[in-house]
Amino acid sequence: MLHVQKLSYAYKKIQALTDVSFELRDGEIMSIIGANGAGKSTLMKCIAGVLKTQENAVQLDGRPLARRPHQVVQHGVVLVPEGRWIFPGLSVEENLEIGAYVVGSSKQGKERAFTMFPKLKDRRRQRAGTLSGGEQQMLAIARGLMSDPKIIMLDEPSLGLAPLIVNDIFSIIQQINREGVSVLLVEQNARKALNVADRACVLEQGRIVKQGTGSELASDESIISAYLGGKK
């Protein structure tokens, strides 16, 4: 479905990504794990068109993916960025409406968001900046779903959240996937990321060094030592 082939990116003289290749198949969750500075967020931004990379490095359904962010969304690929990036002065409902901007008003999308996130329905008139961290993350995900994407890319969705809220977020990710949306997940909580992943890869210093199923990487001794606290 989504095919990344030898994608490279540099910030001036700093090489952030080098020949990154992988594919996200239709209907699966793929997790990308790695340390801070490995290039995970840069990779997501390149796919989303926020950062410009070489032509044809990213393909969707066998065709080059558009290179401008709004066109990427129109083609069915949405990024929920690290840090949420909600509009704090706007209401919950207004944030959702912005998520549907490139596809037009979506009453069905809003109903879906409020069904999946009932807390947001209760706070639909509330300014987004007054929500808790977990509620803001739910809003960011719900806003991403407003354009009815084929693929949703989630960049560090559990960052800064309490453990119970993290569990809720991962349950939501699995629910989204069950509803037919493919998920590309970047996440520092490697254990949880691998537990929900059909397949996964490890990014180190801008290069993919391992790929496999989520269970294969979760039982790999080197992954356990580096990312899972040293214990099976």
| pLDDT tens for each residue of 142-169 | 999 998 899 999 999 998 888 888 999 9
pLDDT band (50, 70, 90) for residue 54: confident
pLDDT band (50, 70, 90) for residue 105: low
pLDDT band (50, 70, 90) for residue 226: confident
CB atoms within 10 A of CB 130: 12
The rounded distance, in Å, linking the Cα atoms of 195 and 228 is: 12
Query: What's the rounded mean pLDDT across residues 211-220?
Result: 93
Q: What is the mean pLDDT of the chain?
A: 91
Output the DSSP codes for the chain.
Answer: -EEEEEEEEEETTEEEEEEEEEEE-TT-EEEEE--TTSSHHHHHHHHHTSS---TTSEEETTEEPPSSHHHHHHTTEEEE-TT----TTSBHHHHHHHHTGGG---HHHHHHHHHH-HHHHHTTTSBGGGS-HHHHHHHHHHHHHTT--SEEEEESTTTT--HHHHHHHHHHHHHHHHTT-EEEEE-S-HHHHHHH-SEEEEEETTEEEEEEEHHHHHT-HHHHHHHSTT--
The C-alpha angle with vertex 112 and arms to 106 and 118, in degrees rounded to 5, equals 125
pLDDT band (50, 70, 90) for residue 106: low
Dig out the tokens for 191 from the structure.
């254990």
Please state the domain extents for the chain: 1-76+152-166+181-232, 85-148
pLDDT band (50, 70, 90) for residue 176: very high
20 has a pLDDT exceeding 90: yes
219 has a pLDDT exceeding 60: yes
User: Quick check: pTM over 0.75?
Assistant: yes
Query: What's the rounded mean pLDDT across residues 96-117?
Result: 81
Lowest mean per-residue pLDDT among 13-17, 83-87, 129-133, 139-143: 83-87
**pLDDT over 90, % of the chain:** 68
Lowest mean per-residue pLDDT among 24-38, 89-103, 166-180: 89-103
Q: How many residues does the chain have?
A: 232
230 has a pLDDT exceeding 70: no
CATH of domain 1-76+152-166+181-232: 3.40.50.300
Higher per-residue pLDDT: 174 or 99: 174
Amino acid at position 191, single letter: R
118 has a pLDDT exceeding 70: yes
pLDDT band (50, 70, 90) for residue 113: confident
